[in-house]
Amino acid sequence: MASTGNIGQGAYTAAKAGLVGLARTIARGYGSRNIRVNVVNPGFHKTQLAEGLSPEAEQAILSRHLLGRPADLAEVCGFFTWLATSQSISGQVFNLDSRLPGWL
């Protein structure tokens, strides 16, 4: 969302884009001290936040996924574990869903 935007969600999009810029700035400024900073966008998941979605809205979200399903929360946790053990990755943005950006 930070790179494509969504109608009616300007503040949300700006906040996400700001976090990406902040993370990359911190990664660049503190990499020499072996401090790694990355952004992980976990994507859509069935959580309390999504409880109010209509079945049609949920289906619209899932239809944009190349795999037809969101990442499982266990998959997301596994990715965080892997990323925490990596010593050579910093300043990156990871999208953990299979959606293509709107500009492709």
Contact 97, 40 (CB under 8 A): no
Tell me how many degrees the CA angle 29-31-35 measures, rounded to the nearest 5: 110
Q: Which of 10, 12, 67, 69 is catalytic?
A: 12
Q: Report the run of H or E that residue 41 belongs to, with start and end.
A: strand 39-41
Q: Is 12 a catalytic residue?
A: yes
Catalytically active residues are: 12
